[in-house]
Structures are given as structure tokens and as C-alpha cells.
Amino acid sequence: MTSEVLEKSTAAAKYESRVPRYTSYPTAPHFTPSVDDAVYSDWLRRLPAGTPASLYLHVPFCASLCWYCGCHTAVVHGQKPIDDYTELLAREIALVAELCAPEIVAVHWGGGTPNMLGSDGLARLTALLRQSFSFGDDAEIAAELDPRILTEEQVAGFAAAGLRRASLGVQDFNPEVQAAINRIQPFEMTARAVGWLRSAGIGGINLDLMYGLPLQTVESVVATVDQAATLRPDRVALFGYAHVPWMKKHQRLLPEDKLPGPAERLRQAEAAAERLVAHGYVRIGLDHFAHRDDPMALGLRDGTLRRNFQGYTTDTAPVLLGFGASAIGTLPQGYVQNTGDNTTYRKRIEAGRLATARGIAVTPEDLLRREIIERLMCDLHVDVAAIAARYGRSPSHFADVLPGLDALAADGLLTRDGWTITVTEAGRPLVRVVCALFDAYLQRGTARHSLAV
Ligand SMILES: C[S@@+](CC[C@H](N)C(=O)[O-])C[C@H]1O[C@@H](n2cnc3c(N)ncnc32)[C@H](O)[C@@H]1O
Ligand code: SF4
């Protein structure tokens, strides 16, 4: 172990805290049922026509269950539940389109596994979105795809529907790790999927990798990175396995005694990150890597990178409309989330109502803290005084944060020049701990989160 890694793992152990992933602020555990479908309808009606917006469509189905999975999804067999759900999404799109007229700049299909809809389902819904909303000329359509159930025919259909970016789940190429997580996906299968996508003109390729899974070692993670790099993805996401068996019971199927501890997780994360950088990728925030000419790397350089429920994004639209069970949306007034219960979702949509179950209206104080947290998560750097000034506040508003910042600075995790904070490379894996200092809800909540590293 190098002394640098030793220092970092000491810090990881010391700050072995559980903190949110900050894909929103306030974070989802603070959403409440006070934001219901009536509130959401009202917020949609108030959206000025032409407001740039992105769309997120959630497909809560998979062909089989990966035992590490933390996503909102379930295994389905047969075509009927998928066709029924496609119909419900179509009805929800119509309900929302009646209430607002935004200009769509991006569409993201997430899950679960959007390719479970098949190319016909995805093409039909994409056509409906185009009829229902006005689309910007260069609106980017992206989808998360599972290579194990992808076919060449599907890829041709997705390309015809306008898909331009695909995010492929990989995790690890080691056969023993794959067996332990119930996800058998030989390298050749992923390589074949990438080949089909590129040949069909779907040029933006992201690969999802993970560390912290059972049986993973520094060597296996680095070997996976090397294999992944041969496919020349534009972006790589390197997620730390979030072990939350109290929320996701199936995670108990994983051999818990084979899970790496916090120091080993950090070694794996750092070794994988160093290797990705050696392969020419630019390190983005907590867990993303992009080719230096990729828009995400450019976004990092010019300070326009954003963070939303899908993680890091180049999408700068102020509005995100979510469709499907559990989908989250962002409006100027606050966040809204659909019910995650598929039956309740169906009943609500069939009754001609929006399926909103919870959300939160944001206050100017929330917006101020959100901006600070987002800049830290994206840039690892923030000028607190400059942001506070835009909200008519003095930075002394955050005086109670100073002791925490100085403790992290003493451990080499950040530097502070007045109210300008820069997270160091040693602090990068713990950036969520820095953000947590600005989280006014954290102490009040009872939510349990995954490990900070
Ligand atoms: C919706 S899935 C990707 C698409 C598709 N379902 C698949 O797996 O191929 C999104 C990604 O979330 C990540 N993920 C899932 N469960 C996770 C967990 N418990 N902790 C961290 N990352 C997780 C995986 O990297 C996965 O590829
Ligand atoms: S990782 Fe992807 S394929 Fe596996 S269960 Fe989760 S959503 Fe489904």
C-alpha cells in the first residue's frame, strides 16, 4: 500500500459514515405525501411554455435479478405486464402533456431495464413523446440497456427511434464475481453489444462498472477496467456497491462475508480510477470518467456539469419530468416522486390521475444549499460566498459549518481559503461527507444511507 492510499484509507475508516449520494437536495428521504397529484398538477400548469425540460422514463422490469441491485425493479416473465406498462406510460405522457408545454432537450430511459420494452414499445412511446411535446433540434435520447437481453434487431429499432446514447450495465468481467452476484455476462457479450450499437449509429457509449462487490479484489477490478477500456467507451461510471439489505432484501443473497471492508473498497476504487486515468479518461466528480473530448469532460472544464437522479449529467435543463413507477421529477417549485408501487401506479393512471406519492417544495434556503452541494459534488470546489451573495446571504450564515470544514482540512481532505473550498484528491472519495456539512436536513432525519466510500 502506498503511503497516500494508507492516508486515504485511514480517513475512510475515520469517516466511515453513512451519507446521502446527493442526487438531489433535499434528498429523497425528506420527501413527504404533502406533495400529491393536485400539487404536481398545479406546478405543471404554472410552468411557462417553452421552458427547457428533460424527460425521465422509468421501466421497473428486468429479465433476472442481480443480487446487488439497488434499483427500483422486479423480474417479470411474459409480454403482458410489459405491454400493460407501456400503455400506462402512454396515458401518463398524455396526462402531463395536457398540463404544460415545455421544450424537450433530453430524454433518458432508465430502470430496471428499458430494453425490456423492446424496440416496438420504446419506438411507440418515443413517437408519442414527440407528438405530445415540442422537441429541441438536438434533443439527446439515451437509455440504460442490459447487454444480456439485447439483440441486433432491437438495436436497429432503438436507432430508428432516435436513441443516440446507451449506458450498458457491466459491473465486473470476472466469472467468479459474476457468479457471486447472479449476473453472468461474458466480455464477448458486452463487446458484441457495443459493436451493434456503434454500427447502428448509437455512438455515445457508457459502461457501468462497480467496486465493493463480493469476491472483488484490486486485481479483478483493474483487470475489468483494462478489458472495458479495450471497448473505448466514451464514459465509464464506477459505482461503489451500496449495501442496503434493510431496503433491498435480495442483497442478503450475496455472500456477506466476501464483501470487501471500507479500506479495501477504497483501494479498489482508487486502483480502478488510476487505471482509467492511465487509459486517458478524465475523472469526473465522485464516480464518473469521460473521454477528454466527451461533452461531460467539457462540462467539467467549463463549470456546467450538473448532478441529478441519474448521477452526473451534461443536461442543464431546469426541469425534469419523471414518468413511470417511482420516477422523480424536478420543477422550479420542488421535487415530485411517483408511487413506487406498480399496482397503485396502474390504478392511479387508469383513473386518469397523476401517480404522485410524495415530494417536497423547496425554499430559498434549500436552493442555496442545493447549489453549494451540487458544485461540490460536480467540481469538488465551491465559492460559498459568491453563491450565498446571489441568495442575498452573507457566508456567515454557514458559521456552524466551519469547525467541520476545518476538521476535514486538518485531515487533508480539503483546503479552505476564506469561503472558497477545494476538495483535495485525498478527499474526493469522501466528497459526500463535505456536502453533508451543508445538509440542514441530515441531523433531523432517520434515514439510513450507504457507506460514504
Ligand atoms: C438500471 S442499472 C443499468 C441497466 C441494466 N438494468 C443493467 O443492469 O444492465 C443501473 C446501474 O446501477 C448500478 N447499481 C445497481 N445496483 C447498485 C448498488 N446497489 N450499488 C451501486 N450501484 C448499483 C449498476 O452499475 C447498474 O449498471
Ligand atoms: S442491475 Fe440492472 S439488470 Fe440487474 S437487477 Fe438491477 S436493474 Fe435489473
pLDDT at 423 over 50: yes
Give the C-alpha separation, 331 to 322, whole Å.
10
Cα-Cα-Cα-Cα dihedral sign, residues 267, 271, 276, 278: positive
Find out whether the beta carbon of 69 lies less than 6 Å from any atom of ligand 1. yes
pLDDT at 61 over 60: yes
DSSP 8-state secondary structure symbol assigned to residue 401:
G
Question: For residue 334, what are the β-bridge partners?
Answer: 331, 361
Which-ligand-closest: CA of 64? 2
| 177-233 tens-digit pLDDT | 999 999 999 999 999 999 999 999 999 999 999 999 999 999 999 999 999 999 999
Give me the torsion for CA of 93, 98, 100, 102, rounded to 10°: 50
Nearest CA to ligand 2 atom 4: 66
Burial of 222 (0-12, 13-18, 19+ CB in 10 A): middle
Closest CA to 362 of 70, 30, 41: 30
Q: What angle do CA 252, 258, 261 make, to 5 degrees?
A: 100
Which-ligand-closest: CA of 310? 1
Report all structural domains of the chain as residue ranges with CATH numbers, in order of start. Answer: 1-18+363-443 (1.10.10.920), 27-323 (3.80.30.20)
Give the ligand 1 atom nearest the CA of 237: 25
Closest CA to 342 of 89, 96, 1: 89
DSSP characters for 108-174?
Answer: EEEES-GGGGHHHHHHHHHHHHHHHSEEEEEEEEEEEE-GGG--HHHHHHHHHTTEEEEEEEEE---
Find out whether the beta carbon of 68 lies less than 6 Å from any atom of ligand 1. yes
Closest CA to 436 of 363, 376, 367: 376
d(CA 69, ligand 1 centre) in Å: 6
**What phi and psi, each to the nearest 5 degrees, are found at residue 270?**
-70, -40
pLDDT at 5 over 50: no
Residue 2: the pLDDT is 38
Only one residue has cell 406533495, namely 35
Burial of 132 (0-12, 13-18, 19+ CB in 10 A): middle
Lining residues, ligand 2, CB within 6 Å = 62, 65-66, 69, 71, 73, 111-113, 146, 169
Residue 56 three-state SS? strand
pTM: 0.94
Helix ranges (DSSP H) in 231-306: 262-278, 295-302
Give the C-alpha separation, 107 to 130, whole Å.
11
Nearest CA to ligand 2 atom 7: 112
Give the C-alpha separation, 151 to 134, whole Å.
31
Q: Count CB neighbours of 195 within 10 A.
A: 13
Find out whether the beta carbon of 270 lies less than 6 Å from any atom of ligand 1. no
Residue 449: the pLDDT is 56
Find out whether the beta carbon of 144 lies less than 6 Å from any atom of ligand 1. yes
Give the C-alpha separation, 15 to 6, whole Å.
14
Query: Helix axis angle, 118-132 relative to 80-97, nearest 10°?
Result: 10
Q: What's the rounded mean pLDDT across residues 254-273?
A: 95
Q: pLDDT class for 1, splitting at 50, 70, 90?
A: very low
| 136-169 tens-digit pLDDT | 999 999 999 999 999 999 999 999 999 999 999 9
pLDDT at 121 over 60: yes
Q: pLDDT class for 310, splitting at 50, 70, 90?
A: confident
Q: pLDDT class for 18, splitting at 50, 70, 90?
A: confident
Report CA Rg, the chain.
Answer: 21
Tell which one of 59, 113, 253, 310 to mutate to probe ligand 2, the residue whose CB is within 8 A of the most ligand atoms: 113
DSSP 8-state secondary structure symbol assigned to residue 357:
E
pLDDT at 12 over 90: no
Give the ligand 1 atom nearest the CA of 240: 21
Q: Say if residues 357 and 337 touch (Cβ distance below 8 Å).
A: yes
pLDDT at 452 over 70: no
Residue 3: the pLDDT is 40
Give the ligand 1 atom nearest the CA of 450: 20
pLDDT at 444 over 70: no
Nearest CA to ligand 2 atom 2: 112
Lowest mean pLDDT among 19-23, 43-47, 231-235: 19-23
CA atoms within 13 A on the CB side of 180: 18
Give the C-alpha separation, 114 to 139, whole Å.
19
